[in-house]
Structure 1
Amino acid sequence: GKEPRKRGRRPKSSKGDRGEEPSQKKGRAEPPALPVQVRDPFSKPPVSQLKKTGETFLQDGPCFEVAPKLAKCRECRWTHSQRSKNMPNIFCRFYAFRRLRYTKNGQLAIAGFSDPHRDAAEEDLKLWLPQTDCPPPDLDVDMTKFLLMQVGDHFCDLLEQEKEAVSIHLADDKTIAWKRVVQGVREMCDVCETTLFNFHWACGKCGFVVCIDCYKVRLFTPLTCPSRS
Protein backbone atom coordinates (compact mmCIF):
# COMPACT_ATOMS: atom_id res chain seq x y z
CA GLY A 1 0.00 0.00 0.00
CA LYS A 2 0.86 3.65 -0.05
CA GLU A 3 3.26 5.00 2.54
CA PRO A 4 1.33 7.23 4.92
CA ARG A 5 2.11 10.90 4.72
CA LYS A 6 4.12 12.36 7.52
CA ARG A 7 2.11 14.69 9.60
CA GLY A 8 3.20 18.25 10.00
CA ARG A 9 3.24 21.52 8.15
CA ARG A 10 5.70 22.09 5.38
CA PRO A 11 7.73 25.22 6.06
CA LYS A 12 6.97 28.15 3.83
CA SER A 13 9.62 29.04 1.32
CA SER A 14 10.20 32.48 -0.03
CA LYS A 15 9.78 33.19 -3.69
CA GLY A 16 12.77 32.03 -5.65
CA ASP A 17 14.03 29.83 -2.84
CA ARG A 18 16.26 27.07 -4.20
CA GLY A 19 16.76 25.22 -0.97
CA GLU A 20 20.06 26.92 -0.19
CA GLU A 21 21.04 27.77 3.34
CA PRO A 22 20.50 31.38 4.25
CA SER A 23 23.63 33.42 3.85
CA GLN A 24 25.23 34.51 7.06
CA LYS A 25 25.41 38.15 7.81
CA LYS A 26 28.89 39.43 7.14
CA GLY A 27 30.45 40.79 10.27
CA ARG A 28 32.81 43.69 10.53
CA ALA A 29 36.26 42.82 9.26
CA GLU A 30 39.01 42.82 11.84
CA PRO A 31 41.63 45.49 11.23
CA PRO A 32 44.94 44.05 10.01
CA ALA A 33 47.59 43.61 12.65
CA LEU A 34 50.15 46.37 12.64
CA PRO A 35 53.66 45.22 11.74
CA VAL A 36 56.20 45.20 14.52
CA GLN A 37 58.32 48.28 14.19
CA VAL A 38 62.01 47.43 13.92
CA ARG A 39 64.35 50.01 15.34
CA ASP A 40 66.80 51.46 12.85
CA PRO A 41 70.23 51.26 14.52
CA PHE A 42 71.55 54.03 12.26
CA SER A 43 68.85 56.58 13.08
CA LYS A 44 70.34 59.65 14.72
CA PRO A 45 69.51 63.33 15.30
CA PRO A 46 70.70 66.02 12.86
CA VAL A 47 74.42 66.81 12.80
CA SER A 48 73.80 70.24 14.32
CA GLN A 49 72.19 68.62 17.35
CA LEU A 50 74.91 65.97 17.64
CA LYS A 51 77.55 68.71 17.74
CA LYS A 52 75.73 70.42 20.61
CA THR A 53 75.01 67.34 22.72
CA GLY A 54 78.08 65.20 21.98
CA GLU A 55 75.80 62.16 21.72
CA THR A 56 77.39 59.04 20.24
CA PHE A 57 76.10 57.39 17.07
CA LEU A 58 76.83 54.26 15.06
CA GLN A 59 79.19 54.37 12.10
CA ASP A 60 76.92 53.91 9.09
CA GLY A 61 79.45 53.68 6.27
CA PRO A 62 83.06 52.80 5.42
CA CYS A 63 85.83 54.63 7.25
CA PHE A 64 87.15 56.44 4.17
CA GLU A 65 83.71 58.03 3.61
CA VAL A 66 82.33 58.60 7.11
CA ALA A 67 85.52 59.37 9.05
CA PRO A 68 88.47 59.81 6.65
CA LYS A 69 90.57 61.65 9.26
CA LEU A 70 90.19 58.97 11.94
CA ALA A 71 91.89 55.58 12.21
CA LYS A 72 90.76 53.43 9.30
CA CYS A 73 90.18 49.69 9.43
CA ARG A 74 92.46 47.35 7.50
CA GLU A 75 89.99 47.17 4.60
CA CYS A 76 89.45 50.91 4.24
CA ARG A 77 93.21 51.59 4.15
CA TRP A 78 93.33 50.28 0.61
CA THR A 79 93.27 52.90 -2.13
CA HIS A 80 90.33 53.10 -4.51
CA SER A 81 92.21 51.27 -7.28
CA GLN A 82 93.35 48.54 -4.87
CA ARG A 83 89.80 48.05 -3.59
CA SER A 84 88.34 47.74 -7.08
CA LYS A 85 91.07 45.53 -8.59
CA ASN A 86 92.65 43.37 -5.92
CA MET A 87 89.86 42.95 -3.37
CA PRO A 88 86.42 43.66 -4.83
CA ASN A 89 84.59 41.98 -1.93
CA ILE A 90 86.16 43.80 1.01
CA PHE A 91 83.91 45.23 3.68
CA CYS A 92 84.56 47.88 6.32
CA ARG A 93 85.39 46.28 9.68
CA PHE A 94 83.93 49.16 11.69
CA TYR A 95 80.61 49.45 9.84
CA ALA A 96 77.72 48.98 12.33
CA PHE A 97 80.34 48.40 15.04
CA ARG A 98 82.29 51.53 15.95
CA ARG A 99 80.60 54.51 17.57
CA LEU A 100 81.47 58.13 16.83
CA ARG A 101 80.78 61.53 18.36
CA TYR A 102 81.48 65.21 17.78
CA THR A 103 83.85 67.06 20.10
CA LYS A 104 83.21 70.57 21.46
CA ASN A 105 85.05 72.12 18.53
CA GLY A 106 82.96 70.14 16.03
CA GLN A 107 85.55 67.51 15.12
CA LEU A 108 84.61 63.86 14.64
CA ALA A 109 86.08 61.51 17.26
CA ILE A 110 85.98 57.80 18.13
CA ALA A 111 83.60 56.94 20.98
CA GLY A 112 84.28 53.24 21.48
CA PHE A 113 82.18 50.38 20.18
CA SER A 114 78.65 49.05 20.58
CA ASP A 115 77.74 47.72 24.01
CA PRO A 116 75.93 44.34 24.21
CA HIS A 117 73.76 45.45 27.14
CA ARG A 118 72.95 49.00 26.05
CA ASP A 119 72.82 48.84 22.25
CA ALA A 120 71.34 45.40 21.51
CA ALA A 121 67.62 45.70 20.73
CA GLU A 122 64.94 43.02 21.05
CA GLU A 123 65.14 42.09 17.37
CA ASP A 124 68.90 41.55 17.74
CA LEU A 125 68.48 39.23 20.73
CA LYS A 126 65.89 37.10 18.92
CA LEU A 127 68.69 35.51 16.90
CA TRP A 128 70.07 33.90 20.07
CA LEU A 129 67.00 33.33 22.26
CA PRO A 130 64.46 30.48 21.97
CA GLN A 131 61.07 31.45 20.55
CA THR A 132 58.86 29.77 23.15
CA ASP A 133 55.68 31.40 21.83
CA CYS A 134 56.29 30.13 18.29
CA PRO A 135 58.31 26.88 18.31
CA PRO A 136 59.17 25.12 15.02
CA PRO A 137 56.16 23.03 13.92
CA ASP A 138 58.30 20.02 12.94
CA LEU A 139 60.22 19.86 16.24
CA ASP A 140 58.61 17.36 18.59
CA VAL A 141 59.87 16.07 21.94
CA ASP A 142 61.69 13.05 20.50
CA MET A 143 63.53 15.11 17.90
CA THR A 144 64.44 17.69 20.54
CA LYS A 145 65.98 15.03 22.77
CA PHE A 146 67.88 13.58 19.82
CA LEU A 147 69.35 16.97 18.87
CA LEU A 148 70.37 17.70 22.45
CA MET A 149 72.13 14.33 22.68
CA GLN A 150 74.07 15.10 19.50
CA VAL A 151 75.08 18.73 20.07
CA GLY A 152 74.62 19.29 23.80
CA ASP A 153 78.24 18.51 24.71
CA HIS A 154 79.53 20.79 21.95
CA PHE A 155 77.48 23.71 23.23
CA CYS A 156 78.75 23.11 26.76
CA ASP A 157 82.32 23.15 25.43
CA LEU A 158 81.65 26.46 23.66
CA LEU A 159 80.28 27.95 26.86
CA GLU A 160 83.35 26.88 28.83
CA GLN A 161 85.62 28.29 26.10
CA GLU A 162 83.90 31.66 26.32
CA LYS A 163 84.24 31.73 30.11
CA GLU A 164 87.93 30.96 29.72
CA ALA A 165 88.33 33.62 27.03
CA VAL A 166 86.95 36.30 29.34
CA SER A 167 89.28 35.22 32.14
CA ILE A 168 92.35 35.12 29.86
CA HIS A 169 92.30 38.70 28.67
CA LEU A 170 90.10 41.76 28.67
CA ALA A 171 90.84 45.30 27.59
CA ASP A 172 92.16 47.74 30.17
CA ASP A 173 88.68 49.16 30.75
CA LYS A 174 87.23 45.61 31.11
CA THR A 175 84.54 46.25 28.50
CA ILE A 176 83.18 43.73 26.01
CA ALA A 177 82.12 45.13 22.65
CA TRP A 178 79.28 43.79 20.53
CA LYS A 179 79.05 43.71 16.75
CA ARG A 180 75.59 43.30 15.29
CA VAL A 181 74.95 40.87 12.47
CA VAL A 182 75.28 42.52 9.05
CA GLN A 183 73.27 40.93 6.24
CA GLY A 184 75.52 39.25 3.68
CA VAL A 185 78.72 39.58 5.73
CA ARG A 186 80.50 36.53 7.14
CA GLU A 187 82.70 37.25 10.14
CA MET A 188 85.94 35.26 9.95
CA CYS A 189 89.16 34.93 11.91
CA ASP A 190 91.98 36.70 10.06
CA VAL A 191 94.41 33.91 11.03
CA CYS A 192 92.60 30.63 10.32
CA GLU A 193 89.53 31.98 8.43
CA THR A 194 87.04 30.08 10.57
CA THR A 195 83.53 31.52 10.89
CA LEU A 196 82.97 33.56 14.04
CA PHE A 197 79.74 33.75 16.01
CA ASN A 198 80.93 33.76 19.63
CA PHE A 199 83.58 35.55 21.72
CA HIS A 200 86.72 36.66 19.88
CA TRP A 201 89.24 39.48 19.89
CA ALA A 202 89.26 42.50 17.58
CA CYS A 203 91.80 45.30 17.28
CA GLY A 204 90.22 48.67 18.02
CA LYS A 205 92.56 50.46 15.59
CA CYS A 206 92.43 48.30 12.45
CA GLY A 207 89.70 45.70 13.08
CA PHE A 208 92.00 42.65 12.85
CA VAL A 209 90.01 39.70 14.24
CA VAL A 210 91.32 36.59 16.02
CA CYS A 211 89.31 33.58 17.21
CA ILE A 212 89.69 32.00 20.66
CA ASP A 213 91.87 29.10 19.50
CA CYS A 214 94.31 31.26 17.51
CA TYR A 215 94.58 33.72 20.39
CA LYS A 216 95.42 30.94 22.86
CA VAL A 217 98.01 29.45 20.51
CA ARG A 218 99.77 32.80 20.16
CA LEU A 219 99.44 33.60 23.87
CA PHE A 220 100.87 30.35 25.21
CA THR A 221 103.36 29.52 22.43
CA PRO A 222 106.74 31.25 22.83
CA LEU A 223 108.02 33.08 19.78
CA THR A 224 111.12 31.55 18.24
CA CYS A 225 113.44 33.18 15.75
CA PRO A 226 114.41 31.11 12.70
CA SER A 227 117.91 29.74 12.99
CA ARG A 228 120.50 30.76 10.46
CA SER A 229 122.57 28.08 8.79
Structure 2
Amino acid sequence: MGAVSFMLYYLYLILFSIFIFIITSIHLDLINPQERSSVGVLVELWTLSYLLSLKLLKNGRQTPASFIRIRCLSVISILFLTSCFIFNSLMTLIMEPIWTPAIIVISIFILLVYQTISLFLHLGISYMDFHLFHVKTARLSKIQWLLLFLFHTLLSVGCYGLFCIDANILEKDELINNLHFIRYICIAINLLSTPMTYQSLLAWNSEKLDFVGIHPETKLHWKGVMKKMENGKWEVDQTPRDHDLCDV
Protein backbone atom coordinates (compact mmCIF):
# COMPACT_ATOMS: atom_id res chain seq x y z
CA MET A 1 0.00 0.00 0.00
CA GLY A 2 1.29 3.43 -0.93
CA ALA A 3 1.14 6.68 1.00
CA VAL A 4 -2.11 7.73 -0.70
CA SER A 5 -3.75 4.41 0.21
CA PHE A 6 -2.69 4.82 3.84
CA MET A 7 -4.07 8.34 4.03
CA LEU A 8 -7.37 7.28 2.45
CA TYR A 9 -7.68 4.34 4.83
CA TYR A 10 -6.99 6.50 7.88
CA LEU A 11 -9.52 9.07 6.65
CA TYR A 12 -12.01 6.22 6.21
CA LEU A 13 -11.41 5.06 9.79
CA ILE A 14 -12.03 8.55 11.18
CA LEU A 15 -15.22 9.05 9.15
CA PHE A 16 -16.44 5.55 9.97
CA SER A 17 -15.89 6.17 13.68
CA ILE A 18 -17.89 9.42 13.47
CA PHE A 19 -20.64 7.58 11.58
CA ILE A 20 -20.84 4.92 14.30
CA PHE A 21 -21.23 7.54 17.04
CA ILE A 22 -23.94 9.38 15.08
CA ILE A 23 -26.07 6.33 14.36
CA THR A 24 -25.66 5.14 17.96
CA SER A 25 -27.05 8.46 19.16
CA ILE A 26 -30.05 8.17 16.83
CA HIS A 27 -30.63 4.56 17.85
CA LEU A 28 -30.61 5.32 21.57
CA ASP A 29 -32.93 8.31 21.11
CA LEU A 30 -35.42 6.18 19.18
CA ILE A 31 -35.31 3.35 21.72
CA ASN A 32 -35.65 5.59 24.75
CA PRO A 33 -36.93 9.08 23.87
CA GLN A 34 -35.95 11.71 26.42
CA GLU A 35 -35.93 15.48 26.65
CA ARG A 36 -32.15 15.43 26.57
CA SER A 37 -30.66 13.80 23.49
CA SER A 38 -28.03 11.10 23.92
CA VAL A 39 -25.68 13.15 21.72
CA GLY A 40 -24.30 14.93 24.78
CA VAL A 41 -23.66 11.63 26.55
CA LEU A 42 -21.87 10.21 23.52
CA VAL A 43 -19.74 13.33 23.13
CA GLU A 44 -18.71 12.96 26.76
CA LEU A 45 -18.05 9.27 26.13
CA TRP A 46 -15.88 10.09 23.11
CA THR A 47 -13.94 12.65 25.17
CA LEU A 48 -13.44 10.07 27.90
CA SER A 49 -12.27 7.44 25.42
CA TYR A 50 -9.94 9.99 23.80
CA LEU A 51 -8.34 10.85 27.15
CA LEU A 52 -8.19 7.17 28.04
CA SER A 53 -6.41 6.46 24.76
CA LEU A 54 -3.81 9.12 25.45
CA LYS A 55 -3.30 7.70 28.93
CA LEU A 56 -3.02 4.05 27.94
CA LEU A 57 -1.24 4.28 24.61
CA LYS A 58 2.31 5.13 25.56
CA ASN A 59 5.02 5.51 22.95
CA GLY A 60 6.56 2.16 22.13
CA ARG A 61 7.46 -0.31 19.41
CA GLN A 62 4.75 -2.00 17.40
CA THR A 63 5.01 -5.75 16.97
CA PRO A 64 3.67 -7.81 14.05
CA ALA A 65 1.36 -9.60 16.49
CA SER A 66 -0.20 -6.32 17.67
CA PHE A 67 -0.40 -5.07 14.07
CA ILE A 68 -2.44 -8.12 13.07
CA ARG A 69 -4.44 -8.30 16.29
CA ILE A 70 -5.77 -4.73 16.21
CA ARG A 71 -7.04 -5.16 12.65
CA CYS A 72 -8.80 -8.42 13.41
CA LEU A 73 -10.28 -7.12 16.67
CA SER A 74 -11.63 -4.05 14.87
CA VAL A 75 -13.75 -6.26 12.62
CA ILE A 76 -14.91 -8.38 15.56
CA SER A 77 -15.86 -5.29 17.58
CA ILE A 78 -17.99 -3.98 14.69
CA LEU A 79 -19.78 -7.33 14.48
CA PHE A 80 -20.48 -7.22 18.21
CA LEU A 81 -21.69 -3.62 17.97
CA THR A 82 -24.07 -4.51 15.16
CA SER A 83 -25.35 -7.45 17.21
CA CYS A 84 -25.98 -5.11 20.14
CA PHE A 85 -28.03 -2.81 17.90
CA ILE A 86 -30.09 -5.78 16.75
CA PHE A 87 -30.70 -7.16 20.24
CA ASN A 88 -31.53 -3.72 21.57
CA SER A 89 -34.03 -3.18 18.76
CA LEU A 90 -35.79 -6.48 19.45
CA MET A 91 -35.58 -6.20 23.23
CA THR A 92 -39.34 -6.42 23.79
CA LEU A 93 -39.39 -9.75 21.97
CA ILE A 94 -36.30 -11.56 23.20
CA MET A 95 -35.21 -9.86 26.44
CA GLU A 96 -37.08 -11.20 29.43
CA PRO A 97 -34.90 -10.13 32.40
CA ILE A 98 -35.31 -6.44 33.14
CA TRP A 99 -31.54 -5.96 33.43
CA THR A 100 -30.74 -7.34 29.97
CA PRO A 101 -31.29 -4.03 28.08
CA ALA A 102 -28.96 -2.29 30.53
CA ILE A 103 -26.23 -4.83 29.78
CA ILE A 104 -26.72 -4.28 26.04
CA VAL A 105 -26.42 -0.49 26.40
CA ILE A 106 -23.30 -0.82 28.56
CA SER A 107 -21.83 -3.16 25.94
CA ILE A 108 -22.52 -0.55 23.25
CA PHE A 109 -20.72 2.11 25.30
CA ILE A 110 -17.72 -0.19 25.87
CA LEU A 111 -17.51 -1.00 22.16
CA LEU A 112 -17.67 2.71 21.32
CA VAL A 113 -14.77 3.39 23.67
CA TYR A 114 -12.86 0.57 22.01
CA GLN A 115 -13.54 2.10 18.58
CA THR A 116 -11.69 5.25 19.63
CA ILE A 117 -8.78 3.29 21.09
CA SER A 118 -8.68 1.15 17.95
CA LEU A 119 -8.56 4.28 15.80
CA PHE A 120 -5.48 5.55 17.66
CA LEU A 121 -3.82 2.14 17.37
CA HIS A 122 -4.47 2.08 13.63
CA LEU A 123 -3.02 5.56 13.24
CA GLY A 124 0.10 4.38 15.06
CA ILE A 125 0.33 7.49 17.24
CA SER A 126 1.85 5.44 20.06
CA TYR A 127 4.33 3.65 17.80
CA MET A 128 6.67 6.44 16.75
CA ASP A 129 9.74 4.34 17.64
CA PHE A 130 8.72 1.43 15.42
CA HIS A 131 5.65 1.57 13.19
CA LEU A 132 4.60 -1.25 10.85
CA PHE A 133 2.83 -0.98 7.49
CA HIS A 134 1.63 -3.30 4.78
CA VAL A 135 4.13 -3.73 1.98
CA LYS A 136 3.14 -2.09 -1.30
CA THR A 137 2.86 -5.46 -3.02
CA ALA A 138 0.41 -6.92 -0.47
CA ARG A 139 -2.62 -8.38 -2.23
CA LEU A 140 -5.49 -10.78 -1.62
CA SER A 141 -5.87 -13.88 -3.74
CA LYS A 142 -8.97 -14.41 -5.90
CA ILE A 143 -10.31 -16.94 -3.40
CA GLN A 144 -9.85 -14.46 -0.55
CA TRP A 145 -11.66 -11.77 -2.54
CA LEU A 146 -14.50 -14.24 -3.10
CA LEU A 147 -14.63 -15.10 0.60
CA LEU A 148 -14.65 -11.40 1.47
CA PHE A 149 -17.57 -10.81 -0.89
CA LEU A 150 -19.51 -13.82 0.40
CA PHE A 151 -18.88 -12.88 4.03
CA HIS A 152 -20.35 -9.41 3.73
CA THR A 153 -23.12 -10.51 1.38
CA LEU A 154 -24.30 -13.21 3.78
CA LEU A 155 -24.10 -10.80 6.71
CA SER A 156 -26.25 -8.28 4.84
CA VAL A 157 -28.81 -10.93 3.97
CA GLY A 158 -28.76 -12.17 7.55
CA CYS A 159 -29.26 -8.67 8.96
CA TYR A 160 -32.20 -8.07 6.66
CA GLY A 161 -33.68 -11.48 7.43
CA LEU A 162 -33.59 -10.88 11.18
CA PHE A 163 -35.91 -7.91 10.72
CA CYS A 164 -38.45 -9.69 8.53
CA ILE A 165 -41.10 -9.46 11.20
CA ASP A 166 -44.26 -7.46 11.56
CA ALA A 167 -43.03 -4.23 13.16
CA ASN A 168 -46.48 -3.59 14.64
CA ILE A 169 -45.95 -6.30 17.26
CA LEU A 170 -43.51 -3.91 18.96
CA GLU A 171 -46.56 -1.74 19.75
CA LYS A 172 -44.68 1.49 20.49
CA ASP A 173 -44.10 3.93 17.62
CA GLU A 174 -40.54 4.71 18.67
CA LEU A 175 -39.63 1.00 18.66
CA ILE A 176 -41.21 0.55 15.24
CA ASN A 177 -39.30 3.53 13.84
CA ASN A 178 -36.09 2.23 15.36
CA LEU A 179 -36.66 -1.21 13.84
CA HIS A 180 -36.89 0.26 10.35
CA PHE A 181 -33.86 2.46 11.05
CA ILE A 182 -31.62 -0.32 12.39
CA ARG A 183 -32.63 -2.72 9.62
CA TYR A 184 -30.86 -0.62 7.01
CA ILE A 185 -28.19 0.80 9.30
CA CYS A 186 -26.89 -2.69 10.12
CA ILE A 187 -26.63 -3.45 6.41
CA ALA A 188 -24.86 -0.11 5.87
CA ILE A 189 -22.40 -0.81 8.71
CA ASN A 190 -21.71 -4.24 7.25
CA LEU A 191 -20.98 -2.86 3.79
CA LEU A 192 -18.99 0.13 5.06
CA SER A 193 -16.83 -2.14 7.21
CA THR A 194 -15.60 -4.02 4.12
CA PRO A 195 -12.30 -2.06 3.93
CA MET A 196 -11.69 -2.97 7.56
CA THR A 197 -12.22 -6.65 6.83
CA TYR A 198 -9.96 -6.34 3.80
CA GLN A 199 -7.21 -4.89 5.99
CA SER A 200 -7.60 -7.66 8.56
CA LEU A 201 -7.31 -10.36 5.87
CA LEU A 202 -4.31 -8.60 4.40
CA ALA A 203 -2.64 -8.46 7.81
CA TRP A 204 -3.50 -12.07 8.66
CA ASN A 205 -1.91 -13.34 5.43
CA SER A 206 1.13 -11.06 5.52
CA GLU A 207 4.55 -12.61 5.15
CA LYS A 208 6.31 -9.24 5.06
CA LEU A 209 5.69 -5.88 6.71
CA ASP A 210 7.41 -2.56 6.11
CA PHE A 211 8.57 -0.61 9.14
CA VAL A 212 9.70 2.91 9.95
CA GLY A 213 11.19 3.93 13.26
CA ILE A 214 14.26 4.58 15.35
CA HIS A 215 17.07 2.04 15.52
CA PRO A 216 17.34 0.84 19.16
CA GLU A 217 21.15 1.08 19.20
CA THR A 218 22.21 3.84 16.82
CA LYS A 219 19.08 5.99 17.40
CA LEU A 220 19.10 6.80 13.69
CA HIS A 221 16.03 6.90 11.48
CA TRP A 222 15.43 3.29 10.50
CA LYS A 223 13.25 1.77 7.81
CA GLY A 224 13.08 -1.66 6.29
CA VAL A 225 11.18 -4.92 6.13
CA MET A 226 10.20 -7.56 8.66
CA LYS A 227 9.78 -11.11 7.41
CA LYS A 228 7.82 -13.99 8.86
CA MET A 229 10.17 -16.93 9.26
CA GLU A 230 9.30 -20.59 8.77
CA ASN A 231 8.99 -21.07 12.54
CA GLY A 232 6.35 -18.33 12.68
CA LYS A 233 8.59 -15.70 14.25
CA TRP A 234 9.07 -12.26 12.74
CA GLU A 235 12.56 -10.88 12.19
CA VAL A 236 14.04 -7.82 10.54
CA ASP A 237 15.26 -8.69 7.07
CA GLN A 238 18.99 -8.11 6.97
CA THR A 239 19.18 -7.88 3.18
CA PRO A 240 20.90 -4.53 2.45
CA ARG A 241 18.24 -3.38 0.02
CA ASP A 242 15.49 -4.13 2.54
CA HIS A 243 16.65 -1.84 5.32
CA ASP A 244 18.18 1.57 5.64
CA LEU A 245 19.67 3.84 8.28
CA CYS A 246 20.00 7.56 7.92
CA ASP A 247 20.60 10.66 10.02
CA VAL A 248 17.62 12.83 10.91
TM-score scaled by structure 1? 0.21
Greater per-residue helix proportion: 2
TM-score scaled by structure 2? 0.20
